[in-house]
Amino acid sequence: MKRELKKIPKFRNEDKERAFWSKHDATEYIDWDQAEQMDFPDLKPSVKSISIRLPQSLLNDLKTLANKKDVPYQSLMKMYLASKVSEEMTPYKK
């Protein structure tokens, strides 16, 4: 037997919607069995600029490696950070 879903209210703004979903269970409003996988190929993740202090020798090594791999050094730093963070997060994703 299929259960009756509640109607999702209209929200005046994103803050109101965020507040609503923080206090309500989406399974009462959405039939997740009907959900479909979506791809958003042009969606770019939001980024935040930061400053970081590094020893000059580490920065020089990063730039040397980046040059050998033919990638910008900041891109190489992001790749290394993403890889290590993913590795460290694995035990917590249970």
**What's the rounded Cα separation, in Å, for the pair 55 and 48?**
22
Question: Is 1 a residue whose pLDDT tops 70?
Answer: no
Write the DSSP string, 10-55: P-SSHHHHHHHHHHS-GGGT--GGG------TTPPPP---------
Q: Using one digit for the tens of pLDDT, what is the confidence trace for 6-55?
A: 999 999 999 999 999 999 999 999 998 888 988 888 888 888 899 999 99
pLDDT at position 41: 87
Provide the whole-model pTM: 0.53
